[in-house]
């Protein structure tokens, strides 16, 4: 281990208590996509205190930022934080199910958790900065605040607007969430294409559906026939899409399609057609061609549904990303740094909490309650072999995440560090979702993820800043993989505007006080 690495590791070790507190702060904020106001402000304030110049609201996104710190000429390396949470996953940092104080279960919670992602990445950047200051290593650190990952919203916007230009290498970190991608780096099979689109049905001329009833005393009588309206359009599309899913693509390649109905604010029922209804479809596919095939069916269903219900149709993209680009140079370098650090280790306090969860679920506590893979490393090539065991040979990409957009602008590595997960006893169906959410907030359990990530990221960044030949090799591989016919241009226009104006779920403050957008009333719980 070099003295540079030791300086970075020492910084992480000396700030363990602070990192734990920082993580718990973001975990408790638990703000959903496009509405991470407090989380974003916290990161900006902390980076500014460390001497970074920060552009708030970068790319026209109120909860994004772009930060930079330089120690002189040299390579430019980057990392990023995510901090959005998931509605409907509000869980206290406890060993029993239940929401955080003052909130309902429908409020957001960190499922992945992005709280650990953001603080682990920040720890890596600040530890690298500390080592650079102490040793005189030159170069530039860039750090981005990337909101709305759960709808894959910000990175494509930052890329389209030029924020990733001039970067020599990017470290993308995510807490482990599926085997065999645990304590490793991705090798060949990176994330695939992702699309998300909102279909808005607008019934603003219901009177033109047909003439008034011949026996109506007045033209606008409530008893007159009028257009079916926006709700009919939405549910017609919903039904059509469910009926046509099997005809969209062959059942291979691991593609998926999900939907979410957005609230239009029409809470007063009357004998009038709904004026507005919106549905958001998101789909994942290994290849762009497959994603486009799904898009064609969805658009056709939306157009027919609008016509049936006498509505106008407005289509708007939320996200549209390209499949990821591998970089073996960076993957190998980052894994070497992970080997130096070692996997997360769970101490007595973490084990006691895990056993208490098992006991509260009616299980016999296990002597080693955590999944064995969480405390083991797996070489990228070995993980690749296991990952591909159930894939067809033609499939080059799998699942989705918007870091893939970064990989088209600069050499990018995807690093995974284990998040705490419990081992499943023989014959047990599986843990309820609240368990993994709670583990992400219990400090003794999640802190090892943050610390290992911080050290690994810092070591990787310092190696890149002090080994220009490695940077040159990574960039050479990047150019080879993206040159000529291999290049895929952005799938959205340069002037694409992030859809921050839609009715995304959020915390609100009214005369009634602070609340989640779905009030925590007794009626909802019954």
Q: What average pLDDT score do residues 462-478 get?
A: 98
Q: What is the pLDDT of residue 264?
A: 73
5 contacts 134 by C-beta, under 8 angstroms = no
Q: What are 78's strand-pairing partners?
A: 142, 170
Question: Does residue 221 surpass a pLDDT of 70?
Answer: no
- The token pair that represents 318 in the structure block: 């939320």
In a domain, 264, yes or no: yes
Residue from 111, 182, 117, 120 nearest 375 by CA: 182
Question: Does residue 417 surpass a pLDDT of 70?
Answer: yes
Domain of residue 43: give its range.
3-190+323-486
Q: What average pLDDT score do residues 313-318 get?
A: 96
- The token pair that represents 121 in the structure block: 């990445």
Tell me 403's DSSP state. H
In a domain, 496, yes or no: no
Residues 38 and 94 in one domain: yes
- The token pair that represents 402 in the structure block: 């918007």
Q: Among 61-70, 226-235, 283-292, 507-516, which is the least confidently predicted range?
A: 507-516
Residues 186 and 330 in one domain: yes
Q: What is the DSSP string of 441-478?
A: T-HHHHHHHHHHHHHHHHHHHHHHHH-HHHHHHHHHHH
Question: Does residue 328 surpass a pLDDT of 50?
Answer: yes
Contacts of 478 (CB under 8 A, 6+ apart): 325, 327, 410, 411
Domain boundary pick from 280, 299, 321: 321
Q: What is the pLDDT of residue 102?
A: 86
Question: Does residue 212 surpass a pLDDT of 60?
Answer: no
Q: What are phi and psi of 243, to 5 degrees?
A: -75, -25
Residue from 116, 129, 123 nearest 418 by CA: 116
Residues 366 and 466 in one domain: yes
Sheet of strand 312-321, all strands in order from the earlier edge strand to the far edge: 256-262, 276-285, 193-202, 312-321
In a domain, 503, yes or no: no
H or E element in which residue 18 lies: helix 16-29
175 contacts 116 by C-beta, under 8 angstroms = yes
Q: Residue 65 is part of a domain; what is its CATH number?
A: 3.40.630.10
The 10s digit of each residue's pLDDT in 246-270 is 999 988 888 999 999 988 777 666 7
Residues 160 and 272 in one domain: no
Residues 200 and 186 in one domain: no
Residues 82 and 142 in one domain: yes
Residues 280 and 405 in one domain: no
Q: What are 259's strand-pairing partners?
A: 281
CA atoms within 13 A on the CB side of 235: 5
Q: What average pLDDT score do residues 196-225 get?
A: 75
H or E element in which residue 525 lies: helix 522-525
- The token pair that represents 63 in the structure block: 């909860």
Q: What are phi and psi of 329, to 5 degrees?
A: -60, -50
Residues 407 and 270 in one domain: no
Q: What is the pLDDT of residue 1?
A: 61
Query: Predicted confidence band at 214 (pLDDT cuts at 50, 70, 90)?
Result: low
Q: What is the pLDDT of residue 526?
A: 40
Q: What is the pLDDT of residue 516?
A: 84
The 10s digit of each residue's pLDDT in 356-409 is 999 999 999 999 999 999 999 999 999 999 999 989 999 999 999 999 999 999
In a domain, 513, yes or no: no
Q: What is the DSSP string of 319-373?
A: EEEPPP---HHHHHHHHHHHHHH------HHHHHHHHHHHHHTTPPPPSS-B-GG
Q: What are 79's strand-pairing partners?
A: 143
In a domain, 386, yes or no: yes
Q: What average pLDDT score do residues 429-445 get?
A: 96
273 contacts 206 by C-beta, under 8 angstroms = yes
Domain boundary pick from 294, 321, 348: 321
Tell me 511's DSSP state. T
Q: What is the pLDDT of residue 59?
A: 96
Question: Does residue 26 surpass a pLDDT of 80?
Answer: yes
Q: Round to whole Å and give the CA distance between 279 and 276.
A: 10
Residues 285 and 428 in one domain: no
Q: What is the mean pLDDT of the chain?
A: 93
Question: Does residue 223 surpass a pLDDT of 90?
Answer: no
Q: What average pLDDT score do residues 167-185 get?
A: 94
In a domain, 309, yes or no: yes
Domain boundary pick from 272, 292, 321: 321
Sign of CA dihedral 12, 378, 180, 323: positive
Q: Round to whole Å and give the CA distance between 201 and 261.
A: 12
Residues 423 and 440 in one domain: yes
Q: Is 316 left (phi over 0), alpha (psi -120 to 50) or beta?
A: beta
Residues 369 and 403 in one domain: yes
Q: What are the CA-CA distances from residue 271 to residues 205, 220, 221, 222, 275 (Å)?
A: 15, 12, 10, 6, 12
The 10s digit of each residue's pLDDT in 154-174 is 999 999 999 999 999 999 999
Q: Round to whole Å and give the CA distance between 416 and 243.
A: 38
In a domain, 157, yes or no: yes
Q: Round to whole Å and give the CA distance between 249 and 325.
A: 24
In a domain, 507, yes or no: no
Q: Among 355-364, 418-427, 517-526, which is the least confidently predicted range?
A: 517-526
Q: Among 156-170, 199-213, 467-481, which is the least confidently predicted range?
A: 199-213
The 10s digit of each residue's pLDDT in 48-102 is 999 999 999 999 999 999 999 999 999 999 999 999 999 999 999 999 999 999 8
Four-point Cα dihedral 98, 102, 103, 104, nearest 10: 60
Q: Are strands 76-81 and 140-145 parallel, antiparallel or unpaired?
A: parallel
Q: Among 7-11, 43-47, 508-512, which is the least confidently predicted range?
A: 508-512
pLDDT over 70, % of the chain: 94
Q: What average pLDDT score do residues 285-293 get?
A: 95
89 contacts 109 by C-beta, under 8 angstroms = yes
The total number of structural domains that make up the chain:
2
Q: Among 230-234, 372-376, 459-463, 522-526, which is the least confidently predicted range?
A: 522-526
The 10s digit of each residue's pLDDT in 89-116 is 999 999 999 999 988 889 999 998 999 9
Residues 368 and 455 in one domain: yes
What is this structure's pTM?
A: 0.94
Q: What are the CA-CA distances from residue 89 to residues 109, 113, 401, 438, 513 (Å)?
A: 5, 11, 20, 10, 22
Residue from 82, 73, 64 nearest 166 by CA: 73
Q: Round to whole Å and give the CA distance between 287 and 381.
A: 22
Sign of CA dihedral 126, 331, 178, 282: positive
């Amino acid at each position: 281990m070099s003295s540079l690495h030791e300086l970075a590791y020492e910084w992480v070790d000396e700030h363990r208590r602070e990192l734990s507190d920082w993580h718990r702060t973001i975990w408790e904020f638990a703000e959903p996509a496009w509405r991470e106001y407090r989380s974003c402000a916290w990161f900006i304030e902390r980076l500014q205190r460390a001497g970074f110049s920060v552009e708030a609201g970068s790319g026209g996104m109120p909860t994004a930022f772009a930060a930079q710190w330089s120690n002189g000429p040299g390579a430019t390396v980057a990392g990023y934080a995510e901090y959005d949470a998931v509605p409907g996953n509000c869980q206290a940092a406890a060993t029993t199910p239940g929401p955080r104080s003052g909130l309902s279960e429908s409020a957001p919670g960190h499922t992945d958790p992005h709280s650990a992602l953001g603080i682990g990445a920040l720890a890596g950047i600040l530890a690298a900065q500390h080592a650079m200051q102490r040793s005189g290593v030159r170069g530039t650190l860039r750090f981005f605040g990337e909101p709305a990952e759960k709808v894959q919203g910000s990175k494509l916007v930052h890329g389209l607007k030029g924020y990733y230009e001039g970067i020599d290498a990017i470290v993308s970190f995510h807490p482990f969430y599926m085997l065999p991608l645990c304590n490793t780096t991705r090798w060949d099979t990176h994330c695939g294409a992702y699309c998300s689109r909102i279909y808005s049905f607008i019934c603003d001329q219901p009177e033109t559906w047909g003439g008034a009833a011949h026996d109506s005393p007045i033209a606008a009588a409530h008893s007159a026939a009028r257009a079916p309206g926006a709700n009919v359009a939405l549910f017609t599309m919903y039904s059509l899409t469910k009926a046509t899913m099997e005809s969209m693509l062959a059942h291979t390649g691991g593609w998926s399609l999900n939907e979410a109905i957005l609230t239009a604010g029409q809470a007063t029922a009357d004998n009038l057609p709904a004026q507005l209804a919106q549905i958001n479809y998101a789909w994942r596919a290994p290849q762009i061609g497959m994603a486009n095939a799904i898009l064609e069916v969805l658009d056709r269903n939306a157009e027919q549904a609008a016509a049936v219900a006498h509505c106008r149709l407005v289509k708007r993209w939320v996200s549209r990303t390209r499949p990821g680009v591998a970089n073996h140079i960076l993957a190998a370098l980052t894994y070497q740094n992970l080997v130096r650090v070692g996997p997360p280790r769970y101490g007595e306090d973490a084990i006691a909490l895990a056993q208490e969860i098992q006991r509260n679920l009616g299980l016999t506590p296990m002597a080693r309650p955590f999944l064995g893979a969480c405390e083991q490393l797996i070489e990228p090539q070995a993980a690749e072999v296991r990952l591909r065991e159930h894939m067809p040979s033609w499939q080059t990409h799998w699942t989705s995440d918007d870091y893939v957009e970064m990989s088209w602008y600069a050499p990018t590595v995807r690093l995974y560090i284990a998040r705490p997960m419990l081992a499943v006893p023989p014959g047990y169906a599986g843990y309820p979702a609240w368990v993994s959410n709670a583990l992400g907030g219990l400090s003794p359990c999640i802190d090892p993820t943050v610390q290992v990530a911080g050290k690994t990221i810092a070591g990787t960044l310092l190696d890149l800043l002090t080994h220009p030949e490695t940077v040159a090799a990574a960039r050479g591989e990047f150019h080879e993989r993206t040159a000529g016919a291999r290049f895929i241009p952005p799938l959205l226009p340069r002037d694409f505007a992030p859809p921050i104006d839609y009715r995304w779920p959020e915390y609100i403050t009214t005369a009634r006080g602070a609340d989640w957008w779905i009030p925590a009333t007794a009626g909802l719980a019954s």
